Amino acid sequence: MIATIVAQPKVMGPWYIRESFVGDYSISQRGAMLVAVGLAARELGGFGRIKSDVVDGEANETFPTKMLLKRLHHVYAGIGNGSNRSKTKSALLPAHTAEVDTLARVMEQTMLVPLSTRKSALVGKQRTKIIRNDLASVMAEAFFFPLTGYFHASMQSR
């Protein structure tokens, strides 16, 4: 199911969603269809499939919502060398008064700069090219709008 949705998300995504709300299926089959839609959306988003970790000879699959981002995992999981832990502990200590004074001065200078000088500084900069997010339009059209539409219709019918 996941492969068919990934191959044709604009066709198969709304079809599986419609069938899970309207079709004559059991609860477990409906749940399997919605899980397939969710996993296909993750795969289209670039997250890939869920990897399993082998712990004591058993496969331990971690649920996607229980995983942290890679850049945050080392900080909060306590994995890695001891210097990483000391950095996080030192980040929790209160800042020195000299650092606070310097930060306050910098903030005052940036906040009190007249608006006209800010605008003139922005005029000299070149505008960056806007990059269109095609993934968001596919996700909205294939997954989000059908899910919310059929959910709303099923709630109205009750």
Per the CB < 8 A criterion, the answer to whether 9 and 17 are in contact is no
Beta carbons of 57 and 67 less than 8 angstroms apart: no
State the helix-helix crossing angle for 27-44 and 9-22, rounded to 10 degrees: 160
Across 57-77, average pLDDT: 64
Q: Which of 55, 37, 3, 44 is nearest to 150 (CA)?
A: 37
Rounded Cα–Cα distance for residues 145 and 151 (Å): 10
Q: Which helix (H) or strand (E) holds 76?
A: helix 70-77
pLDDT digit string, tens, across residues 34-65: 999 999 998 888 876 655 544 444 545 565 66
Residue-level pLDDT at 102: 79
Q: Is 138 helix (H, G, I), strand (E, B) or coil?
A: helix
- Give the mean model confidence (pLDDT) for residues 16-36: 93
Name beta bridge partners: 53. 60
pLDDT in tens, 101-157: 777 777 777 666 665 555 665 666 677 788 888 889 999 999 999 999 999 999 998
Rounded mean pLDDT, 22-31:
92
For residue 64, the model assigns a pLDDT of 60
Q: What's the pTM value of the predicted model, to 2 decimals?
A: 0.52
Residues in the chain: 158
Q: In the 8-state DSSP scheme, what is residue 112?
A: S
